[in-house]
Amino acid sequence: MQSTVSSTTKKYQMTPSEREAFQTAFMAWYDEHRRDLPWRQNQEPYRVWLSEIMLQQTQVQTVIPYYERFLATFPNVEDLAAAPEELLLKTWEGLGYYSRARNLQKAAKQVVDDYQGKWPQTSAELEKLAGIGPYTAGAIASICFGEVVPAIDGNAFRVFSRLLKIDADIANPKNRSIFYDAILPLIPKDRPGDFNQAVMDFGSQVCTAKNPTVGDTELAPFFRSYQDGTLLDYPVKTKKAKPKPVALFAVVIESEKGFLFQKRPSTGLLANLTTYPLVMAEDLQDDESELLTPEEQMTRIEACFKEAYGLTLAHLKPVPVKPVTHVFTHLKWTITLLSATIAKDSDLAFFPGEWYSKAALAEIAMPTVQKKMAQRFDSL
């Protein structure tokens, strides 16, 4: 990313002497307090990339066992590129946001096919790979190839907004360039990767969102917001809209063959993953003002299965358990569980799924929301 310093960002920059003193103190802090993480023991690009993708939306301690299991299954980029999708998703199971796993494989295929197995060495080239944005590209390029480039994530926004009193709204993507311009001069040219990892560690251990302990470190004198008592006023961020509530029904259909599961469409939420058949409550209504009774809802669900799949539901009724709630980034699902049966000789030709025994279910990738539903159903 190329950037030219504007007059707007000059006020956030340090003097050369301040910058040198900060770099020395910051790297000394990192050398003493750096975390011992598996992906830091071997900073080969494949491993660093994998860790950075897994760490998106997921805590470090949660990632470590998944990272080790993933590497054991796919030791290198060639193995990942050639992997069956079902094995990929099963290995990823539990981390959520399955589009990350699919993009991992897309990027692996790009590295193998377009770059002959050799990783691009600049952040600009790395951003051409699927699922790699400016932060991940900056992290890989600096850690693995020594490029002097910021890796700007939530930790970086928090650390540098407090350090330099940057009052630009971090929720506005246009303001990322302000942080880029402010951070770039602070990166020591001989240790860009260590600097970006220091930001990660300092942000997660010291300069936390709540109860930061910046004042207990030798870096306190450099933090302008700490010096004037405004540390917690940064970063500036407009509030995100609350996730939209969505009501659904999950139909648990059981027979001697096991449970009938539906494969989700190839695009959209939970793409290609397997769940109980789901019906959105709003799809049962003719208009938004219509208020259906529970009996009418059951009748319309039966009609949906008949019309869409040619399946006749019998004994459809609510399961006497609390609804399952699950929050995605922008949606909050509330799922009412229903139980039903279908005729033994039902034709599944038009149904996007199949019967699974409990043993078979252990072999396929299950999204977290499905695990919640199964646990709730099994609690009866």
Positions marked active-site:
52
Angle at the Cα of 127 from the Cα atoms of 121 and 129, rounded to 5 degrees: 90
Q: Dihedral of CA 77/79/84/86: which sign?
A: negative
Query: What six digits make up the tokens of 29?
Result: 């802090």
- Please answer whether residues 156 and 170 qualify as being in contact, where contact means their C-beta atoms are separated by less than 8 angstroms: no
For the beta carbon of residue 162, count every other beta carbon within 10 angstroms: 23
Residues 123, 178, 24, 198, Cα dihedral to 10°: -60
Quick one: which of 332, 338, 301, 300 has its CA closest to 317? 338
**Phi, psi of 238, rounded to the nearest 5 degrees:** -70, 145
**Residues with Cβ within 8 Å of residue 104, at least 6 apart in sequence:** 50, 53, 80, 88, 131
C-alpha count within 13 angstroms, C-beta hemisphere, residue 48: 25
C-alpha count within 13 angstroms, C-beta hemisphere, residue 75: 1
**CB burial readout 36-75, b (16+ within 10 A) else e:** ebebbeeeebbbbbbbbbbbeebeeeebeebbeebbeebe
Can you give the C-alpha Rg of the chain in angstroms?
25
Q: Dihedral of CA 282/288/292/294: which sign?
A: positive
Mapped onto helix, strand or coil, the DSSP state of residue 336 is strand
Element at 183 (helix H, strand E): helix 176-183
